[in-house]
Structure 1
Amino acid sequence: MTFQCPPINTTWSGWALYYVVPVTSLCPNRRRMGSLKFYNCEQCGNDFVSRTALRYHFRAKHLGKVHCEKCGREVLRETLQDHEAANHERMTAERQGCFWDMPPKREAKFVAIEMSTSCRMCPRKFGTIHSREHHEKQDHQFTASKRAQMATGFSPDNILDYKNPTELKRFVEEKLRPVPGPASIACATETEAIINLIKECFPLPIARLIKGGSYIKGTDTQGWSDVDIVLFSEAFENLEDCKKKLPEVIDDLGKRLKKSSWASRIMMEKRTQSSLRFHFKCYKNHHGHSFDIMPCYDMLGPAPSTGFKQSFYHKIYLCNDTDEIQLYSMSLLQYQVEFIKASTMKVKDLIRLVKHWFRTSFAKPTAQNKFRRLPSSYAIELITISIWQLAGKPVFFSLIQGMRAILMLLVRYPEMCIVWHKHYSPNSMIFKKAFQKQTRPFILDPANPTLNVCENSNAWDEVAHVARRSLLKPLFNGVQAKEPWLFTNDW
């Protein structure tokens, strides 16, 4: 694992680096750099060297498409209703006979691929983060004070008003860490039973099954966990056949689960393009699990060679279809799970603490900033592990020291450049290309050299603001860096 910020083809100003192309006053859609003119697409923010290239791009990428008001995604006008039905319709608790509170909302996709260059206030997307930020200031008056107001929302159950490490440790043990004993055993038994039910109800023969999510990784909490199930079937002839059959397979699985003996404890949620989602009330209704069931064609296999894995990465890198990228990425779930699962119990407690901080420190999105996206839970897990590794992988450490180090890093998010090389070589062409076009913050998925997990969030400046405010709270009052966290003194 490396944590560094190498120079990128231009001059530095400290750690943060942005190259700004000035906009000419001659034409609102034209940019000038030296003697060259660049024509800007208002729809997505990309630049082109001629009007002809811009016109060709618009016809190929945007003509006949509209933005979905609920998610901001660009879809064909004639398929908008189908898109909304597949992605946004949610059956109400009353219709499903639900008897528990709705758990926290999960990420919209298994592997998030929305870019950080999309606006927080409207569906528009841009070619660079700078152009997106310029648009937010000019068109939405997104000033620093407005950002602070829309970002900060400390709830009464946050941990920042605690006065000492003992209170924090007690909170983690009593409120966050799953309770061991008979309840935990019963929960594991019921979770395994529902997975077996899914296998029985799956309409195709199953060649291989892999499990993921916070419950499997060991980063779940007392009241909430998620479980990802990927079902590989040889009934899918290839990737295209899988895409074609997925809607029917997912619908069939959902119908069978609704008719099962466990139907009263299952509440179906939204169905995505590639998965079936539902909430399962576990063990005497004390808590719930959010299940994400994903059928897929097995493109990687259980034990791929290094060469085959490199070829697999190359296919992902060349793929421009977002739905196909989702299917490719499902094969990598087992490696992502193994990476997080290998952490110590103390690190997993720190992950739980940071996730709790995210849930209790940020204001809820409103109609005005409904396109805001905070970092994914997977990004939070990777940031926590990287900080622990920077400290030398201590077995025992202070949770306050670890939490403080993470918040200090979030304040300096443009400096984040985190890479692991367990599954891909630093000399591989795919890694080099991904690294060369990186945007900051940069955390490369340890199982996928084509994915910067930070790109999903378009609100890192809000994260930094809330982290800065949090460091001023009583929990960190007078706290100084101690071994092995002294490296934070340089921040």
Structure 2
Amino acid sequence: MGNWLTGNWSSDRSSGYSSGWSPGGSSGVPSGPVHKLEKSIQANLTPNENCLKQIAVSSVPSQKLEGYIQENLKPNRESLKQIDQAVDAIWDLLRSQIPVKEVAKGGSYGRETALRGCSDGTLVLFMDCFQQFQDQIKYQDAYLDVIELWLKIHEKKSVKHEHALVVQVSVPGQRILLQLLPVFNPLRSNENPSSCVYVDLKKSMDQVRASPGEFSDCFTTLQQRFFKKYPQRLKDLILLVKHWYEQCQEKWKTPPPQPLLYALELLTVYAWEQGCQAEDFDMAQGVRTVLRLIQRPTELCVYWTVNYNFEDETVRNILLHQLRSQRPVILDPTDPTNNVGKDDGFWELLTEEAMAWLYSPSLNTESPAPYWDVLPMPLFVTPSHLLNKFIKDFLQPNKLFLKQIKEAVDIICSFLKNVCFLNSDTKVLKTVKGGSTAKGTALKRGSDADIVVFLSSLESYDSLKTNRSQFVQEIQKQLEEFVQAQEWEVTFEISKWKAPRVLSFTLKSKTLNESVEFDVLPAYDALGQLRSDFTLRPEAYKDLIELCASQDIKEGEFSICFTELQRNFIQTRPTKLKSLLRLIKHWYKQYERKMKPKASLPPKYALELLTVYAWEQGSGTDDFDIAEGFRTVLDLVIKYRQLCIFWTVNYNFEEEYMRKFLLTQIQKKRPVILDPADPTGDVGGGDRWCWHLLAEEAKEWLSSPCFQVEQKGLVQPWKVPVPRDLKTSDMVGVFTTGGILWQDQGFLSFV
């Protein structure tokens, strides 16, 4: 069943720091006298365990990290099973003698992140007689006396304590330093917490002048749930980070006054959530990502809203106070008052150690070594006056990135023009760079490039529809043969479509510092040699509209033929508008990443067009307030059911066929957002996409610090017209001088 050994530890409540175990015991990190107990235990480790302690994890080759974890860091399953039995025996003993309703297991042991050998844990005893948080302070010591007494009776051991009682649960191969904690249960029936639970927490803390996080043990059940949902491989990564941290502690000799172990666990979870989310991932990439985050403590601001959020005013004020405090901020996801990342002078040491491992030969095996794209702080907590800096620091690509994209595009374009169809009747008329890199709105670390290849054999929309998959396959075949003679690495993405419209692959070559993701799309040259006027476009649009009327064609299916027009529509805009576009795209990507379960969101292009419209109608200047623009776009997202937006820069109402078609398009269910390059492409889509989910997210963001100005209140959106519903009978005498159709006092106008 395992051996129980007991010892004595104390803490000073008034200071908010523990001389033995931290007040927020659920973090479960040994320090002070408990740390000394661990030292004495280590003296009796087996030779294999002592060898493990001596091997620096930073010297382990990156490709062997996974094996290192399995062989040295993960506890034996049978040992953990015996530990569970021993802990259950303690619980059975205590519940027969004291009024304990239920228990929860916390610390590394409860989070399933315990290291092999010796690790920490808590056994939280929810007392029936504790009716409020304050009772925990009043009566906790008395119940610890009772627990000590019963442990003495059953173990024949003398136990002394003040505010903490620790039992060593020991089985062959594993030891857990288990802290026993009688606490108040604010969740009662084990349900998810409502905001009133955290309102009561704040009131109680104010009344007794409790230290931040002093009652975090009351939420141990939530902590168990939080970690339980994550895959085992992520917990393996946590073990690796924790083991590295323990080796850092050994080097420092003196343990930190407020241990950072729990903070590093949460930081590892954050890195995986923001940068990966895959159950199978490269362990070295995960380590590099965590180390890169540790290197930026003055920027770190990490939190979750799984148990609390910004809806209630009291909780919102707690959160905003925390998020505005000095970095690093890493909030306990179960207790908003508990910043477990608080800097007590050890982050600087940790940063130095992180840099040493990150750039060590064992981990820095390639240049640059890959890592996940994770920002040290979320956009949500960025104050309005720092939005421009956020974009510059985190979103805007640097010159090296742009140079790399250009080199990659040149490589592929050269292949398409000079090699791919060399022995074919098909000729490449032209290649056009598309996507965000061509528009000037690419995000940093978004190394993707679109190339549209216009082919002579594709002589109509029909031929494109019929033959494009054939050309996709041919390009892939030629590329596979060509790279065998080149110093390239190409990895193709398997298409889920039987007749793929696009060839997706990843390219790495000697000239590139890192891999670049490509989409190559065959297209019909509907516009011929593009001119700046409308001379060639009416015929191209007429053929397209007639085809859509005669066949079952999806909206915007041939928009790729108008890539140049799409690119030019955005490319010619002011630099600051492109910055706003980057911000909106980042906001969209963050929501897309966190959304569970996944749903069909509107395309990013719809948000880009909505942003352009907001700027045109609300500002129109080269220099504007980014926060105001951001707020305006979110307001329009919230009003998605009223949106009917289009432009007449490439097509208009002069031709009869186009007028009829456009009037049909703008009568569709809202939102309607027409592609300015392709009138058949409604990227608003009505009910086709889940705009309501995006609108809900936008509403939550209205409480963000992004839209709060000190002493001025909330940032106000631009005044942008939103149209009312239109009837067919109203659409008479429509003019062609603007971009949005709306009705005022019985008259139709273009704004």
Which bin holds the TM-score, normalised by the shorter protein?
Answer: 0.5 to 0.7
Q: After the TM superposition, which of the residue ranges 355-364 and 299-308 deviates more from structure 2?
A: 299-308
Aligned to 1:472: 359
Does 1:394 find its partner at 2:394?
no
Does 1:303 find its partner at 2:191?
yes
Residues 472 and 374 of structure 1: CA distance in aligned 2, closer, same or farther (over 3 Å): farther
Match of 2:85 among 175, 180, 189: 189
Aligned to 2:169: 280
- Give CA-to-partner distance per residue, 1:278-336, whole Å, 9 cap, x none: 21212xx332111111112334422266243242343256355237962x322211112
Aligned to 2:331: 444
Cα contact 1:232–1:296 (8 A) shared by 2: yes
Q: Using the alignment, how far apart are the partners of 2:134 and 2:258 within structure 1?
A: 32
Q: Using the alignment, how far apart are the partners of 2:90 and 2:205 within structure 1?
A: 35
Does 1:351 find its partner at 2:241?
no
Residues 297 and 290 of structure 1: CA distance in aligned 2, closer, same or farther (over 3 Å): same
Residues 388 and 316 of structure 1: CA distance in aligned 2, closer, same or farther (over 3 Å): farther
> Secondary structure of 1:470's partner?
helix
Q: Using the alignment, how far apart are the partners of 2:360 and 2:192 within structure 1?
A: 49
Q: Tell me the TM-score normalised to structure 2 length.
A: 0.41
- Amino acid paired to 1:303: E
Match of 2:95 among 199, 203, 209: 199
> Secondary structure of 1:252's partner?
helix
- Amino acid paired to 2:110: I
Match of 2:106 among 190, 212, 219: 212
Q: Using the alignment, how far apart are the partners of 1:87 and 1:487 within structure 2?
A: 35
Structure 1 position 408, deviation (Å)? 0.9
- Give CA-to-partner distance per residue, 1:63-101, whole Å, 9 cap, x none: xxxxxxx9996969xxxxxx99x966xxxxxxxxxxxxx
Q: Using the alignment, how far apart are the partners of 1:374 and 1:157 within structure 2?
A: 26
Aligned to 2:288: 404
> Secondary structure of 1:195's partner?
helix
> Secondary structure of 1:292's partner?
strand
Does 1:435 find its partner at 2:320?
yes
- Amino acid paired to 2:279: V
Q: Using the alignment, how far apart are the partners of 2:286 and 2:192 within structure 1?
A: 36
Cα contact 2:212–2:337 (8 A) shared by 1: no
Cα contact 1:238–1:297 (8 A) shared by 2: yes
> Secondary structure of 2:59's partner?
coil
Structure 1 position 183, deviation (Å)? 4.1
Cα contact 2:294–2:351 (8 A) shared by 1: yes
| Larger RCO, structure (CA 8 Å, separation 6 or more) | 1
Cα contact 1:214–1:227 (8 A) shared by 2: yes
> Secondary structure of 2:337's partner?
coil
Larger radius of gyration: 2
Residues 76-225 of structure 1 mapped to structure 2, 5 A cutoff: 107=22, 109-110=24-25, 156-165=54-63, 167-180=64-77, 182-200=78-96, 203-225=97-119
Residues 229 and 188 of structure 1: CA distance in aligned 2, closer, same or farther (over 3 Å): closer
Match of 2:149 among 227, 245, 255: 255
Cα contact 1:300–1:312 (8 A) shared by 2: no
Cα contact 1:72–1:371 (8 A) shared by 2: no
Residues 87 and 381 of structure 1: CA distance in aligned 2, closer, same or farther (over 3 Å): closer
Q: Using the alignment, how far apart are the partners of 2:12 and 2:125 within structure 1?
A: 27
Structure 1 position 238, deviation (Å)? 4.8
- Give CA-to-partner distance per residue, 1:401-431, whole Å, 9 cap, x none: 1111111111111111112111122343333
Q: Using the alignment, how far apart are the partners of 1:449 and 1:108 within structure 2?
A: 15
Q: Using the alignment, how far apart are the partners of 2:255 and 2:374 within structure 1?
A: 36
> Secondary structure of 1:449's partner?
strand
Structure 1 position 358, deviation (Å)? 0.5
Match of 1:458 among 340, 345, 351: 345
Q: Using the alignment, how far apart are the partners of 1:376 and 1:406 within structure 2?
A: 14
Q: Using the alignment, how far apart are the partners of 1:484 and 1:209 within structure 2?
A: 39
Cα contact 1:373–1:458 (8 A) shared by 2: no
Match of 2:265 among 371, 381, 388: 381
Match of 1:271 among 149, 161, 171: 161
> Secondary structure of 1:291's partner?
strand
Residues 240 and 75 of structure 1: CA distance in aligned 2, closer, same or farther (over 3 Å): closer
> Secondary structure of 2:149's partner?
helix
- Give CA-to-partner distance per residue, 1:10-46, whole Å, 9 cap, x none: xxxxxxxxxxxxxxxxxxxxxxxxxxxxxxxxxxxxx
Match of 1:294 among 159, 181, 186: 181
Q: Using the alignment, how far apart are the partners of 1:350 and 1:290 within structure 2?
A: 22
- Give CA-to-partner distance per residue, 1:452-489, whole Å, 9 cap, x none: 22126431111111111222322213335677725589
Does 1:244 find its partner at 2:138?
yes
Aligned to 1:64: none
Q: Using the alignment, how far apart are the partners of 2:67 and 2:158 within structure 1?
A: 33
Aligned to 1:337: 224
Cα contact 1:158–1:356 (8 A) shared by 2: no
Q: After the TM superposition, which of the residue ranges 476-485 and 392-401 deviates more from structure 2?
A: 476-485
Residues 486 and 445 of structure 1: CA distance in aligned 2, closer, same or farther (over 3 Å): closer
Cα contact 1:313–1:448 (8 A) shared by 2: no
- Amino acid paired to 2:289: A
- Amino acid paired to 1:163: P
- Amino acid paired to 1:177: K
Match of 1:231 among 113, 125, 136: 125
Q: Using the alignment, how far apart are the partners of 2:121 and 2:288 within structure 1?
A: 29
Cα contact 1:340–1:381 (8 A) shared by 2: no
Match of 1:485 among 368, 372, 389: 372
Residues 306-325 of structure 1 mapped to structure 2, 5 A cutoff: 306-315=194-203, 318-319=206-207, 321-322=209-210
Q: After the TM superposition, which of the residue ranges 409-418 and 446-455 deviates more from structure 2?
A: 446-455
Aligned to 1:53: none
Percent identity reads 23
Aligned to 2:486: none
> Secondary structure of 2:125's partner?
strand
Cα contact 1:431–1:449 (8 A) shared by 2: no
Structure 1 position 194, deviation (Å)? 3.0
Q: Using the alignment, how far apart are the partners of 2:13 and 2:121 within structure 1?
A: 29
- Amino acid paired to 2:161: R
Residues 276 and 311 of structure 1: CA distance in aligned 2, closer, same or farther (over 3 Å): same
- Amino acid paired to 2:248: S
Q: Using the alignment, how far apart are the partners of 2:226 and 2:245 within structure 1?
A: 22
Q: Using the alignment, how far apart are the partners of 2:231 and 2:69 within structure 1?
A: 15
Aligned to 2:468: none
Q: Using the alignment, how far apart are the partners of 2:142 and 2:330 within structure 1?
A: 36
> Secondary structure of 1:477's partner?
coil
Aligned to 1:417: 301
- Amino acid paired to 1:271: H
- Give CA-to-partner distance per residue, 1:140-193, whole Å, 9 cap, x none: xxxxxxxxxxxxxx973221112341x22111001111223x444434333322
In structure 2, list runs of 5 or more residues that go unmatched: 1-8, 28-51, 376-400, 402-443, 446-751
- Amino acid paired to 1:161: S
- Amino acid paired to 1:399: M
Residues 434 and 470 of structure 1: CA distance in aligned 2, closer, same or farther (over 3 Å): same
Cα contact 1:444–1:450 (8 A) shared by 2: yes
Structure 1 position 214, deviation (Å)? 1.7
Cα contact 2:111–2:223 (8 A) shared by 1: no
Residues 193 and 413 of structure 1: CA distance in aligned 2, closer, same or farther (over 3 Å): same
- Amino acid paired to 1:276: L
